[in-house]
Structure 1
Amino acid sequence: MGLIEWFKVVVLGIVEGITEWLPISSTGHLILVGDLLKLNVSDAFMEMFNVVIQLGAIMAVVVLYFSQLWPFHTMKTAPARSCFAHPVEDGAAGKFQRFANHYLHMDKIVMWLKIAVSCIPGLLIGLPLDDWLEEHMHRTVPVAVMLIVYGVLFLLVENHNRGRKPRISRISQITWKDALIIGFFQALAIVPGTSRSGATIIGGILIGMSRTLAAEYTFYLAVPTMLGASAIKLLKFGLHFTGVEVSVLIIGMVVAFAVSILAIKFLMSYIKRHDFKVFGWYRIVLGALVIGLFAAGILKG
């Protein structure tokens, strides 16, 4: 691969790092930018790359939110009081409670269990439809349509939410039902152009989450979701990579990681003072532009 090809890989990493966390669809942007740049790799590798590159972005969440995500501690750092409302001394329950008090942040364990519940709808809906979606929806026009549809939804949701006080402002206030509902919203993002972060943020706001919490929960939920999606894509592609393909993946993920750090910090700072309408308008304008370029024959369908 020549220097231009490696420049294209860096550009795709930058696009992933920015769009994975802003609610504007990372997969949709990678498909559109990939059509314009034409990276010199096979179609099968490109489909896998568009998903697996997201592992770099996921690592940014792990680094930035490690203290909120890591559910273990040592006996030296264990809290003085039991984390259980009704401590038990004897039997298996007592042994478990002592182990949990010594080594586990139970609030974070519960958070991860709720995140697991949020993953279930996407797993049940996404797996059976994965091949069909790759064949029919990983195209320019469907991506553009979904950009516009969810752009409009962002505007409608923000108008609906104007002046309303959120009922959920902390992770601990998320119920099991809330987690499942957010999971169904995330499942909508199996269609390219939707935006996984966009769908879950919309869902979170609609059920009463604050914007900040909806964004943070979206970040946390991305970790198991994208690890699972990447594993599936890698298995489907096969683990027979050329040296060039390995290099393309690594460079793309490293760039995506670095840019994601900045994108996450920007988004969390931005939503403390603004709503999501700007992203809705961006999606609508971009979707309309893409459809126009397709109609003019500049982009393929």
Structure 2
Amino acid sequence: MTYLQALILAIIEGLTEFLPVSSTGHMVIASSIMGIGDDEFVKLFEVAIQLGAILAVVALYWKKFINFSKWQFYVKLLIAVIPALFFGFILNDFIDNTLGNPIFIAVVLLVGGVILLFIDRFFKNPTIHDEQDMSNMTAFKIGCFQVLAVVFPGLSRSAATIIGGMQQKLSRNAAAEFSFFLAVPTMCAATGYKLLKGHELLNAENIKLLLFGNVVGFIVAIIAIRSFIGYLSKHGFRIFGWYRIAVGIIILTLYFANVPLVVA
């Protein structure tokens, strides 16, 4: 992997991780086009650079994450992350199989895109506008929606948790923000597991690439999060639905054109 390739993947990660468009689907396209999708370190890199995105959330919402007097916030995150950790562990083999199936990912992207076209009509009149107004049971139910993204690669963790939040009467902004918060423990667990499993790949040069990718991902994720919240409050999810449909069609086109698609 070159630094240019690392830059491209890190920008994609930073842009797509917190948007309801599936970072996995984008990684399929990018790594395949660059011809590096089957490299083991690339697979590790695509997961490990989530650390930069995690730090972006903490930096933007530091008052939430560094306010130990409001311990209920941490309890809600813990409750919400448990379902994904549990099912991610027991369904590991199934997830690995679906993660390598571009047709499966493309179909999930398309279906998720159609849902986003109409989500603003489905869930009207929200009653919860801030995380502090959520109950622990609401947090758990949103965490159960996150399981769908674990089981169905291409759905998008952000899309699943935002839809789950809106189904639980959260406003669009509140649902998006709690999705960001929930990403921190979820992605920490996934990244830590991936690094532990692939530690033998971490030579000096690869560590430099990881540091570079995380810095780029951090900067881009900050821009993406701020822009997303601003856009969402005014325009809703419709454009993201059309975008997902377009990405799904691109993946199907590449697949049937015999372009080798390898997913991390």
Matching residue of 1:10: 7
Does 1:171 pair with 2:131? yes
Return the alpha-carbon distance in structure 1 between the equivalents of residues 235 and 48 of structure 2.
31
Residue 264, structure 1, aligned to residue 260, structure 2: no
- Correspondence for 1:140: 102
Tell me what 1:123 maps to: 85
Take 1:16 and 1:127, find their aligned partners in 2: how far apart are those partners?
Answer: 24
Q: Confirm or deny: 8 A CA contact 1:32 1:140 kept in the other structure.
A: no
Name the residue aligned to 1:88: none
- Once the two structures are TM-superposed, the CA of residue 285 in structure 1 deviates from its matched residue by 1.6
Amino acid at match of 1:126: G
- The equivalent of 2:251 in structure 1 is 290
- Aligned in 2, Cα 1:299/1:159: closer, same or farther, shift over 3 Å? farther
Aligned residue pairs: how many?
261
Determine the C-alpha separation between the residues in 2 that align with 1:133 and 1:12. 22
* Alignment partner of 1:62 is 2:22: no
Residue 28 (structure 1) shift: 2.3
TM-aligned CA deviation for residue 182 of structure 1: 0.3
Distance 1:169 1:300 in 2: 41
1:276 aligns with 2:256: no
Q: Which amino acid aligns with 1:218?
A: S
Identity %: 39
Q: Which has the higher contact order (CA 8 A, sep 6+)?
A: 2
Match of 1:26 in 2: 23
CA shift at 1:31, angstroms?
2.6
Q: Is 2:212 the partner of 1:251?
A: yes
Deviations 1:209-249 (A, max 9, x none): 00000011011111111111111111111355122211221
CA contact (8 A) 1:138 1:192 kept: no
| 1:204/1:214 contact within 8 Å kept | yes
Distance in 1 (CA, whole Å) between partners of 2:149 and 2:73 is: 22
Q: How does 1:154-165 map to 2 (within 5 A)?
A: 154-161=116-123, 164-165=124-125
User: What is the CA–CA distance in structure 2 between the aligned matches of 1:250 and 1:34, rounded to whole Å?
Assistant: 19
The 1:129–1:43 alpha-carbon spacing in structure 2 relative to 1, beyond 3 Å, is farther
TM-score of the superposed pair, with normalisation by structure 2: 0.93
Counterparts of 2:167 and 2:161, CA distance in 1? 10
Q: Secondary structure at the match of 1:271?
A: helix
Counterpart check, 1:185 vs 2:145: yes
> In structure 2, the residue corresponding to 1:272 is in which secondary structure?
helix
Distance in 2 between residues matched to 1:37 and 1:117, nearest whole Å:
39
CA shift at 1:49, angstroms? 1.8
SS of the residue corresponding to residue 126 of structure 1 reads helix
Query: Quick one: which amino acid aligns to residue 125 of structure 1?
Result: F
Show the counterpart of 1:76.
none
Q: Which has the higher helix share?
A: 2
Question: Distance in 2 between the 1:274 and 1:62 partners?
Answer: 26
Structure 1 portions without partners, runs of 5+: 73-104
Q: Distance in 2 between matches of 1:38 and 1:53?
A: 19
In structure 2, distance between residues paired with 1:210 and 1:28: 27
The corresponding residue for 2:46 is 50
The letter for the 2-side match of 1:177 is M
1:50-102 per-residue CA deviation (whole Å, 9 max, x = no partner) reads: 21111111111111110122123xxxxxxxxxxxxxxxxxxxxxxxxxxxxxx
Unaligned residue ranges in structure 2 (runs of 5+)? none
What CA distance in whole angstroms lies between the structure 2 residues aligned with 1:120 and 1:224?
A: 10
- Alignment-derived partner of residue 82 in structure 1: none
Scaled by the length of structure 1, the TM-score of the pair is 0.82
CA contact (8 A) 2:120 2:236 kept: yes
